[in-house]
Structure 1
Amino acid sequence: MRDNNLFKRLVIGGVLGWMVLFGAVPSLMLLGVSFLKRHPDNLIEPVFSLGSYLELLEPALGSMLIQSMLMAATATLLCLVIGYPFAYIVARAGKRYTKTLLLLVMIPFWTNTLIRTYALVAVLKADGVINRLLLFLGVVDAPIKLMYTQTAVFIGLIYTLLPFMILPLYAAVEKLDLRLLEASRDLGASRWNTFRKITIPLTMPGIVSGCMLVFLPALGMFYIPDILGGAKTMLLGNYIRDQFLVSRNIPLGAAASIAMTVIMGVMLFLYYRSVRRAGRKVRI
């Protein structure tokens, strides 16, 4: 028994130590650097300043942040529209088919995201799979331009992040009590009202969780706009990368990273509220 308790303590201590060393400490360092000044030679100057945060409020950067959030929100909404029906079908398909469908969702995780993004180039380019198919079917007379457009960026984001939306939605739908749906139908509610007033509220934790898992990475995946959008679309991740590696403005890059962390905190709070609200409705 003592050996078992010792093993548990070692495992818990090791995990906590790892999180503190590689999670909390770098985050605190980033927070501290964001309140310092930029130095042309030493990168940072140990002088307290709010200049980096004030610079994030400038109109040019503000429009970039708004554009980044709009693109990430649009990609999240598209993933939700596509992922929710699929997750519902998977959850109600029966054990025999559910395992196969979940395996299909998990297969993309077996390949590096960057490699999958480059693979999309072969699909979207002028002589790629999509244009060849459209030309073969006679839908178009000439190849359509897909590469280096916002459409290509959205395709890349959805293709990469859709599994992160499907899995939490599947977990939420799979736990849904079917007796509540049957009671709603017995009381005369239509399918739409049942879906809107029962299914959606009870699966809201999965919706918020999936949106959080898609929205935040969509802000930070700078390589997808670079590869598929031709670096024409600037997202928050591209901006942070450029500040650290190109402009060498470490405090501004740190401030932008903290801003992204704050957005994550807000979404975690929304997730917590949705879980509590769903719990109250279930008890009723």
Structure 2
Amino acid sequence: MTQVPSAPRAHRSWGWRLVAGVPALWLLVFFLLPFLIVLRISFLQMEGAQLADLLVHADGGWRFAGQLQSYALLLDDSLYLSAYGRSLLYAAATTLVCLAVGYPFAYFMARAAAGLQPLLLMGVMLPFWSSFLLRVYAWKGLLDVQTGWVGRLLVGMDADRLLFLLGLVPAPGQLMYSPFSLVLGMVYTYLPFMVLPLYATLSKMDLRLLEAAQDLGATAWQAFWRVTVPLSRSGIVAGAMLVFIPCVGEYVIPELLGGPETLMIGRVLWDEFFANNDWPMASSVAVVMVLLILVPLALLNRSQERARAGGGRT
């Protein structure tokens, strides 16, 4: 029996190193090193307008001059804790709304005619062709109850009173600068990031599995929940992460569409850096925000690896 010659092991080794090394180098240069710089600043002290040294040479040796005062203040001041809580809450609400709106649309795109799918995909990506800032700023006019057609429509339907009863607007007829306008703006902005991964997953699904489920007596609804949704779990997770992560640290949308009651951690970070000129405090806020995002991601990745390992053993 003849054996197919394989590529030299050295060539394969260099190829794998190149494929794995380029993304690793990118993350090292553009994520890890900047994060380490911010982490270092979070332990420093301000001496006027300058940062103190982390290591001080005294008595013939080096002494660590860092401090944990910034992190202690984060746990003690309710301003930071409430800002973190609101950021996580609004990011989670935006992710759920994007999933509820984006999944049916992605499902429709995946089941549409082959000639129609590129047009639908272009429609999802079309907002990226215009300025993000202009698109968000346009909602200020759209939600105006006097001149904006969205605001007048909601008031005409008495939807503003329902939103007031739900605590999403401060008063009937006041749609702007509220949790409603904030979440609406973030859903509008980040909805394509939910639709695209879902479409990529649903379009590759083998439709014969649905036929098999129906042959076994499953209704269309049962086949959807027991076949389609589990098979699209990777798209759901990818879309949720693409929406949730940037929403946590969002600054522009809360600044333009939010109000005092919707203060998020992105605005607090901006104020500490540029208004208060307190770089150690701002850096500690940024470090905790990154950890709030990375720790759940690491736990999710670990659970998925365990699930794949368990499935492989069975």
Please give the TM-score of this superposition, normalised by the length of structure 2: 0.76
Cα distance change, pair 273–94 in 1 and its aligned pair in 2 (3 A): farther
Match of 1:176 among 200, 205, 210: 205
Structure-1 residue corresponding to 2:126: 107
Task: Please give the alpha-carbon distance, in whole angstroms, between the structure 2 residues aligned to 1:134 and 1:236.
Answer: 30
Q: Is the 8 A contact 2:177 2:259 kept in 1?
A: yes
Task: Please give the alpha-carbon distance, in whole angstroms, between the structure 1 residues aligned to 2:94 and 2:81.
Answer: 20
Q: Flag the structure with larger Rg.
A: 2
CA-CA distance at 1:78 after TM superposition? 0.5
Calculate percent identity across the aligned residue pairs: 41
CA-CA distance at 1:232 after TM superposition? 4.0
Cα distance change, pair 260–88 in 1 and its aligned pair in 2 (3 A): same
Count of residues paired in the alignment:
276
1:81 counterpart letter in structure 2: A
Q: Is the 8 A contact 1:202 1:278 kept in 2?
A: no
Partner SS state of residue 125, structure 1: coil
Cα distance change, pair 39–212 in 1 and its aligned pair in 2 (3 A): farther
Matched, 1:79 2:98: yes
Task: Please give the alpha-carbon distance, in whole angstroms, between the structure 2 residues aligned to 1:115 and 1:174.
Answer: 32
Matched, 1:121 2:134: no
Structure-1 residue corresponding to 2:5: none
Cα distance change, pair 134–65 in 1 and its aligned pair in 2 (3 A): closer
Cα distance change, pair 283–59 in 1 and its aligned pair in 2 (3 A): same
Which consecutive unaligned segments of at least 5 residues does structure 1 have?
1-5
Task: Please give the alpha-carbon distance, in whole angstroms, between the structure 2 residues aligned to 1:210 and 1:53.
Answer: 32
Partner SS state of residue 95, structure 1: coil
Match of 2:115 among 80, 96, 102: 96
User: In proportion to residue count, which structure has more helix?
Assistant: 1
Structure-2 residue corresponding to 1:3: none
Task: Please give the alpha-carbon distance, in whole angstroms, between the structure 1 residues aligned to 2:196 and 2:305.
Answer: 17
Cα distance change, pair 277–12 in 1 and its aligned pair in 2 (3 A): closer
Cα distance change, pair 213–221 in 1 and its aligned pair in 2 (3 A): same
CA-CA distance at 1:211 after TM superposition? 0.8
Structure-2 residue corresponding to 1:130: 150
Q: Is the 8 A contact 2:86 2:262 kept in 1?
A: no
Cα distance change, pair 173–275 in 1 and its aligned pair in 2 (3 A): farther
Residue deviations 1:162-209 (CA, integer Å, cap 9, x gap): 011111111111222222222222222233332223222221111111
1:193-232 pair list within 5 angstroms: 193-232=222-261
Which consecutive unaligned segments of at least 5 residues does structure 2 have?
1-13, 55-64, 161-171
Task: Please give the alpha-carbon distance, in whole angstroms, between the structure 2 residues aligned to 1:99 and 1:161.
Answer: 20
Q: Is the 8 A contact 1:44 1:251 kept in 2?
A: no
Q: Is the 8 A contact 1:44 1:250 kept in 2?
A: no
Q: Is the 8 A contact 2:269 2:285 kept in 1?
A: yes
Task: Please give the alpha-carbon distance, in whole angstroms, between the structure 1 residues aligned to 2:266 and 2:130.
Answer: 22
User: How much is the aligned-residue C-alpha RMSD, in angstroms?
Assistant: 3.2
Residue deviations 1:31-50 (CA, integer Å, cap 9, x gap): 22223334443145522222
Q: Is the 8 A contact 1:38 1:249 kept in 2?
A: yes
Match of 2:76 among 49, 53, 58: 58
